[in-house]
Amino acid sequence: MGAVLVNTRDNPSFDPVGIIRAKRDGLAWSPSQIRQLMENYLAGTFAEEQMAALLMAVVWRGMAFDELAVWTEAMISSGRRIDLDLLGRPTVDKHSTGGVGDKVSLILVPLVAAFGAVVPQMSGRGLGHTGGTLDKMDAIPGWRSDLSPEEVVGVLSEVGCVITAASTEIVPADRRLYALRDITATVESIPLIVSSIMSKKVAEGTKSLLLDVKVGTGAFMADLAEARRLAQTMVEVGEAHGVRTAAMLTAMDTPLGSAVGNALEVQEAIDVLSGAGPDDLRDLVVAEAEVMLGLAGIEGDPGEALHDGRALQRFEAMVRAQGGDPHAPLPQGRKLATVRADRSGVLCRLDALAVGMASLRLGAGRSRPGEQVSMTAGITCEVKPGQSVTAGQPILALWGDDPSRVGDAEEALAGAIEVGDSPPTLPPPVLERLGC
Ligand code: URA
């Protein structure tokens, strides 16, 4: 994976600049160098700006599989591991590599738990132009993600599912690296994505896992071969840690569902949990739920549990158990602008990356450390590719509280929409499956 030369100099005294230089120059780290740098980073003796430089070197040089295994292990060991064996029930989780409008976890976690599986989801915040499950759930008044390991186990034994964050106790290394990668353009790297996701999944204690590896313009892997390599690497790391791991490669060229942005996406997730919502989103949720139930050894019809209210009940119970009020009104922004079709025809392209960037610029994501995200900012897609439009018909609505952001958001949307004469060939939602 990129690095070819081996740096045999294994210096027991910590040399932060030498470690960065080694990766910059394409050398592989020794296991003790990796452990040292992670320990020093957590202790504050490997500075944030040094880690930023090192992450950029990893983006360019990659890591050999052995380095990745030690790096991931060091991240897991940065905190505690949760033991879920005492719950005596099958455990299964899912993680997405990140997309635009990807609110699947909000629906899938309670849906699978409604069949008796334990779903201990440790999620992330927005990363780059993609939204994060935790930022979305934060739109629910009172809801808390910062649970202690004991609270996680408590919620799981009461409700069967939880959505929680890496914390100072569980994978603190990912909590810090994730935030740093978000603002230093160091997200798009197979070893950094693999270690970020798999450290959380191993530490949370799940015994089986479905990975949703997004492919397309709105994903961190635009190329199918790269996405396949990412999926295979995560499956290998999962299996090496005794986690039964499967992966689906799913299309991310256009936003998933209709809503992009934190509170907007929670509302759409609740719509699907109530038996409604957009078809593309519901179909993907059902396909992923079927695989997760298979991994957990449970039989059931996920579509039915979306219609009969079982999944919604479980979602509300989870929100309550985490301090939230599932019936409190969600924050609502104003419609700030509308993007319209410039001609009649068929919508051929609605670019996921552009919509994700525009949503971020409206305030739904971060571009500076510690920036507060807006719960109300975002975009609704009034039309999806393949549908007919007439000239002047609204295609996108831009939402939020800050009209001064609209100009930048509209700039991000330049060239994102294409209306043509004949229907586009749309990719199937699930492109490939590994170990499902
Ligand atoms: N999700 C994560 O948790 N980490 C990544 O790096 C990408 C997606």
* CA 181 – ligand 1 centroid, Å: 10
- Told to judge if 181 belongs to the known catalytic residues of this protein, a careful annotator would answer yes
Evaluate: CB of 124 within 6 angstroms of ligand 1.
yes
Beta strands 5-6 and 27-28, pairing class: parallel
**What pLDDT is stored for residue 11 in this prediction?**
45
Q: Could you write out the DSSP letters of every residue in 360-414?
A: IIIIIS-SSTTPPPPSS-EEEESS-TTSEE-TT-EEEEEEES-GGGHHHHHHHTT
Write down the domain spans for the chain: 16-62, 85-328, 334-420
* CA 63 – ligand 1 centroid, Å: 17
* CA 193 – ligand 1 centroid, Å: 5
**What pLDDT is stored for residue 13 in this prediction?**
85
Nearest CA to 349 out of 214, 217, 212, 221 is that of: 217
Whole-angstrom Cα distance, residue 257 to residue 188?
Answer: 24
Nearest atom (ligand 1) to Cα of 95? 1
Ligand 1 atom 5: residue of nearest CA? 193
Whole-angstrom Cα distance, residue 369 to residue 52?
Answer: 12
- Told to judge if 95 belongs to the known catalytic residues of this protein, a careful annotator would answer yes
- 157: Cβ–Cβ under 8 A, 6 or more apart, which residues? 87
**What pLDDT is stored for residue 228 in this prediction?**
97
Q: 249-284, pLDDT tens digit by residue?
A: 999 999 999 999 999 999 999 999 999 999 999 999
- Asked if residue 354 lies in contact with residue 415, where contact means CB atoms within 8 angstroms, the answer is yes
According to DSSP, the residues that pair with 94 across neighbouring strands are: 210
What does pTM read for this prediction? 0.93
Ligand 1 atom 6: residue of nearest CA? 193
- 235: Cβ–Cβ under 8 A, 6 or more apart, which residues? 211, 245, 246, 247, 434, 435
Buried b (16+ CB within 10 A) or exposed e, 166-204: bbebbbbbbbbbbbbbbbbebbbbbbbbbbbbbbbbbbb
| Residue 255, both tokens | 């936003």
Q: What angle do CA 429, 201, 233 make, to 5 degrees?
A: 60
Ligand 1 atom 8: residue of nearest CA? 97
Whole-angstrom Cα distance, residue 336 to residue 378?
Answer: 10
**What pLDDT is stored for residue 102 in this prediction?**
98
Evaluate: CB of 127 within 6 angstroms of ligand 1.
yes
Choose which residue among 93, 134, 170, 197 to substitute to test ligand 1 binding: the one with the highest number of ligand atoms within 8 A of its C-beta: 197
**What pLDDT is stored for residue 436 in this prediction?**
78
* CA 197 – ligand 1 centroid, Å: 5
**What pLDDT is stored for residue 166 in this prediction?**
87
Ligand 1 atom 1: residue of nearest CA? 97
- Told to judge if 200 belongs to the known catalytic residues of this protein, a careful annotator would answer yes
* CA 345 – ligand 1 centroid, Å: 38
**What pLDDT is stored for residue 3 in this prediction?**
39
Nearest CA to 155 out of 321, 323, 325 is that of: 321
Full pLDDT tens readout for the chain, 436 residues: 433 333 434 446 889 999 999 999 999 999 999 999 999 999 999 999 999 999 999 999 999 999 999 999 999 999 999 999 999 999 999 999 999 999 999 999 999 999 999 999 999 999 889 999 999 999 999 999 999 999 999 999 999 999 999 888 999 999 999 999 999 999 999 999 999 999 999 999 999 999 999 999 999 999 999 999 999 999 999 999 999 999 999 999 999 999 999 999 999 999 999 999 999 999 999 999 999 999 999 999 999 999 999 999 999 999 999 999 999 999 999 999 999 999 999 999 999 999 999 999 999 998 887 789 999 999 999 999 999 999 999 999 999 999 999 999 999 999 999 999 999 999 998 999 998 7
**What pLDDT is stored for residue 368 in this prediction?**
82
**What pLDDT is stored for residue 12 in this prediction?**
60
Residue 425: C-alpha distances to residues 127, 133, 347, 385, 386 (Å): 29, 30, 11, 9, 8
Catalytic residue among 135, 174, 182, 271: 174
Evaluate: CB of 98 within 6 angstroms of ligand 1.
yes
Topology (CATH) of 334-420 = Aldehyde Oxidoreductase; domain 3 (3.90.1170)
Q: What CATH architecture applies to the domain 85-328?
A: 3-Layer(aba) Sandwich (3.40)
According to DSSP, the residues that pair with 394 across neighbouring strands are: 340
Nearest atom (ligand 1) to Cα of 193? 6
Ligand 1 atom 3: residue of nearest CA? 197
Catalytic residue among 61, 95, 125, 282: 95
Evaluate: CB of 186 within 6 angstroms of ligand 1.
no
